Structure 1
Amino acid sequence: MAKAIFETDISHFLLQALQWSKGFDVVCLFQSNGFQDQYSRVDSLLAIGATAECYAKEGDAFAALEDFKSRYPEQVIPGFLSYDLKNEVEQIATSHPNPLEFPDAYFFVPAITIAFSKWSVEITADNPAAIFEEIRTREVSTEKNTYTGMITPRMDRTQYFSAFGHIQRHIQQGDIYEANLCQEFYDENAVLSDPEALYMELNTVSPTPFSSFFKIRDHYIISASPERFLAKRGKTLISQPIKGTAPRGETAKQDQKLRDNLANNPKEIAENVMIVDLVRNDLTRSAVPGTVKVTEKLGIYTFKHVHQMISTVSCEMDPQLSDVEVIKNTFPAGSMTGAPKISAMKLCDQYETSRRGVYSGAIGYFAPSGDFDFNVVIRTLLYNKANGYLSFHTGSAITIDADPAFEFAECYTKASAILKALGQIIK
């Protein structure tokens, strides 16, 4: 394969490239939307077509990924891990049905990759110049996605309050300290006219640093995730758990007040601290002893729809471990489980009314440099075009002091960007 760099109008070329990619069975796009920190490496990366694929089911998914990755050490390898792989990691089970029918893990070697920087694109393919010309002359459709169907919450207010009460009693009994209770919004007969256009609409409504689009034939992931699960930079591992959410205000004064209230909210701070401790513990299994540290505590970050409380935990990676072992040691993200982790996951399975699937898992890529970067799959719509099943989940943390009405409202705040992109309102 060859590489070549071309100067172009980046924003327009990305639209052309995504339009052009519709002719391929497998497509993956990562966008950072201008959110850059010291760990950022990618502005936008588009992977098109598959020369090799790894489909894996719970039971041997991490071993399959290890083998697949070892066969392509010089390639970018994008993919995702389903939350259901917790059953493989911790020997627990999930009984909820799986109408979305996504693989538990999927990774591929792209036929074409397009890396976007400020003024240019770098295309890696058999004939980069020919591909650049094909994309450059592609007409961009101005048609927006149309959604035919109706979103229904899997839990109504009464059902959510009941599940909330059960989990809070477990906290009072000392079984757990915190649990991330999630609820599904779904449509069993959905039709999306243009999933790629819907992704671009969601990315406009809610631009986030770990935005992604994934297409595997009839299966689509449309994600506006703001959260990094785990990254590797040289010898350093980085996790940035989010715990603590507040809506945006209608005026600058109200917005600042909501931001300040989040920063000083004892319940939100307690949530974040508990999950930071969990992540520190998870990273210890993959770290050189004594290197795990909290490099940022309780940072407040503002996104288009919400304010978030984010902490950063890092360590020096144990050189005797592989990248896949490190990910397995920390999977799934502690911000989506609760603490203690295994007990919280079991209780969430018991009181939630749907399978999370890809939601709460991770989407990302392994780079030829040896680095990797994976998000937490939140604020994400999942769609099986073949059977018409469309789904997204939202969740919030339950602690001893949590209020069910507040947490229920927070779930709808987190759902607002997806609902807006779909043109839906749920009261």
Structure 2
Amino acid sequence: MGKRHFVLAAGGTGGHIIPAFALATELKKRGHYVALITDERGAAIPGTFEGDEKHILPAGRFTKNPLGWFAAAQNIWRGRAMARRLYESFNPEAVIGFGGYPALPAVLAALKDDIPCAVHEQNAVLGRVNRLLASQVDAIAAAYKQVGRLKDKYLGKTHLIGNPVREEVSILRSQPFPALSEEGIFRVLVTGGSQGASILSNVVPDGLALLPLSFRRRMQVTQQCREEDIERVRDRYADLAIPADLATYLPDLPERLGWAHIVIARAGASTIAELTTAGRPAILVPLPIATDDHQTANAREMEASGGARVIKQSHFTPAELAKQMQKLGLEPEALMNAAGRARNAGYPNATRDLADLVERLGQGLGGEAIPAGQPSGLRTAVQGAS
């Protein structure tokens, strides 16, 4: 097929950057060149796009305050002009947006220059930027069978892909679930996403304290905490005599996930993708202020499969956590079953399938979705919600 150029445009959070990075890794393996458009936060996320061409563009953000709309529009216009100049020299075959406001000027520039475009939606609800672009792009890559705010008229160009994950996580799928005997160490991984989550620091140690002493003595915890919470949480685990490794950032998260028996986490798109790829049972606490409550929607498939228990934040108390932990963790066979069900809810070929879709963009993919069962492995999303 030959070497080709692709531009990936993503917002500055891990939820946007990580699937973009996974795609970039696959495209480079296939011999292509990749450039990233993002903001300063996205360019600084460790372990991603190191050595790759990166461009930081101004990107306006429309808030509820109309006073800022004019400045936001100006920044988007400036960003679009800068992206068009980049495309003159980089000459991309396609531009792929991963949502977030930094992706907007990049995709708008590609549309202006008649460069094929796709957007990838990580969440189970179509995000604001992707909603703005849905009518104009050539293809929409979805991570879930049901995508809220995706209009029915766009289903013909929507492909069920899943969320690409890092190679280190993909490798876990071929490894067995960590051995667990009734007397063996029980490893718990607690993560609140890239920013941490104080609610987990407040509730998890006290919830584990309510477990039977025989169960608690077997526990080993790894927990991501916000900086302002970490010493308090460390002291609490010490009081409980539970070995705990705490950090504000876990650079080796895939390795930690590999030996975890259960994960307590938010329900961000990347978290769900990693759990279902690796096959790890979870207790999920969706972020209640997430736009369109998309984290609750993200957790729906994994919960329905039996791979996760979902607790609303308003109900997330030490007593409720202890109850769910005992249901999942006290019997090794039940935990193994939950792990298998989590694994069955995953989309392990998401990175490959998205790369296939991207390669086809420059070859006149057009607006027709690829039906299930085609050699590419792409699957058509079956339901949207207007």
Judge same fold: TM > 0.5, yes or no. no
Q: For CA contacts below 8 A with separation 6 or more, give which structure has more relative contact order.
A: 1
Q: Which has the higher helix share?
A: 2
Which TM-score applies when normalising by structure 1?
0.27
| Larger strand proportion of the pair | 1
